[in-house]
Chains A and B, each alone.
Chain A
Amino acid sequence: MANKMNIRNLAVPMQMPSHMEINGNQEVIVDGCSGVLEYDIDVVRIKTGKLIVRFSGRNLVIKCLTADSLVVTGFLTGIEFSM
């Protein structure tokens, strides 16, 4: 039982680093997103690996959401990173 390992821990180094593409202040395409933490029309907070990214702005909409990516559109005013 002591030799048992969490298989998820093995998979962590294999994960692709998150990749973010920002088109002006209108659209952000995030690859490698592991979940939505907060979603409102003026703030979207997402988890990307060890980082938490906070998009703030006006009329924010998640245009598309899949298991590891999402597209945020709207009038972006700020991006914050935190651990």
Chain B
Amino acid sequence: MVSLRLTRWLMGYVRFSVIGGSPERFLNHCARSGINLWDIRGGANCGACVAAGRYRELRPCARHANAKLKVGGRYGLSFATKGIRKRRGLVVGTLVFIAVLYLLSARLWSIEVKGNTTIPTGQIEAELKELGVVPGTLKSKIEPQILQQKLMLKFTQIGWLSVNTHGCTAEVQLKEKIDRPQIIAQDNQKIYNIKAAQTGQILSMEVYTGTAMVKEGDAVVKGQLLISGVVEDDEGKSTLRGASGKIIASTARTLTTEVERKRRVSGPTGQVVTRRSLNLFGVRVPLSLVEKPIGDYKTEGIHTDLKLMSSVLPISVYEENWSEQQTVDVTLTKEQALVEAKKQMAQKQKEELGDAKIVSMNPSEQIDGSKLLYRELVKCEENIAQESEIIIK
């Protein structure tokens, strides 16, 4: 029904009324003449609709019925555009619009990468650029299968990848591989002793395999044998095994950090130059008339894509902030140097002590010329068991 109405509207139709005479005779005559009428109203306001092109053919029928016809209204595309057709600018504009729309819709204007977690989007986009997929590329030149293969070969961490084009958007949907956990082969053939990793006093011992060579309360030095891999059974026979155990000992260490107080620091002067540009269908249009500043500047850029209904438009704004930098000689005060030294010390503790339990700390600082030396005597409780392989030839 809708298509019929649309067709009638596109072709144009006329609503007319039949005045005087015999409307029935008029209708019969029209039907016999092959003129299709619709929406025929009866009674005093008798009238109907007819295709615009056939209205003239109704006149003989009306004459036969001794009736007169009066046009009630003209409807359809041809009548709706009658006033506009004389305005050439509008017609040309419409044609240009259709042409531009057709030309632009044949190209790709945005690229969306979805599903990546460890691979940066920029890296994938750069690879796509190398493969010739950039905003403005003709859609007909894109071969998804080949693109998929090339991207999979380039990024080995991709498990599955698909390139789809939706309208003017290329969507790269991917799923990264999940690495299977590394299976550590248990090597029962290797024979170990357990030796002391640090000098200290043993607080507790847990021997899983092997023969304990020390006992709780003993003082041990670094490299001393704690658990032997040689195990003697009840019959006096000796066997070699991989010793294992947990030896918690009280240890003491001295950690040192050094902070240079005199330094050259580069900082912003507060003068910032902002440059903006508009990326329209791959063409960069500068919005600011400011040239690139010359000198010591630090640059930061923000790329903002315009989105409509969650799809990226081929319009983006790029903003560059050029911040002027100034290098000055600075001498840190003792307090400032100390704060920095403590930060470094915290990092060092994390690296060297690992999961050892710190019992006490005795810090001290010393200024040596332009340097600040920060020391900490750390007493802690840690597992000093360290495997040492016995190589038998």
Contact = CB atoms under 8 A, between A and B. Distances in A.
A63 B38 contact: yes
A1 interface: no
A40 B43 contact: yes
Nearest to B23: A39
B27 A67 contact: no
Interface stretch (B28-36, B242-250, B342-350, B370-378): B28-36
Contacts of A37: 24
By Cβ-Cβ distance, the 9 closest A-B pairs, closest first, are A62-B40, A39-B42, A41-B43, A35-B28, A36-B24, A40-B42, A67-B31, A64-B38, A36-B27
Interface of A: 35-41, 44, 60-67, 70
Nearest to A41: B43
8 contacts: A35-B24, A36-B31, A39-B46, A41-B42, A61-B39, A65-B37, A67-B32, A67-B34
Interface residues of B, number: 18
Contacts of B31: 35-36, 65-67, 70
B32 A63 contact: no
A40 B36 CA distance: 19
A44 B28 CA distance: 13
A38 B24 contact: yes
A60 B39 CA distance: 11
A39 B24 CA distance: 6
Residue among A41, A60, A63, A65 facing the most chain B CB atoms (10 A cut-off): A65
A67 to B, nearest CB: 5
A36 B24 CA distance: 6
Given A40-B42, A61-B41, 17 more contacts: A35-B31, A36-B27, A36-B28, A37-B24, A38-B24, A39-B27, A39-B46, A40-B43, A61-B39, A61-B40, A61-B42, A62-B40, A64-B38, A65-B30, A66-B36, A67-B31, A67-B32
Contact of B42 (A35, A60, A67): A60
A19 B84 CA distance: 48
A3 B24 CA distance: 36
Contacts of A35: 24, 28, 31
A35 B28 CA distance: 6
Nearest to B26: A36
Interface in B283-306: none
A9 to B, nearest CB: 19
A37 B23 CA distance: 10
A41 B43 CA distance: 6
Contacts of A63: 38-40
Nearest to B45: A41
A41 B44 CA distance: 9
A61 B114 CA distance: 59
Given A36-B24, A39-B27, A64 B36 contact: yes
Contacts of B42: 39-41, 44, 60-62
Contacts of B32: 67
Interface in B61-112: none
Contacts of A61: 39-42
A65 B39 contact: no
Contacts of A70: 31
A65 B24 contact: no
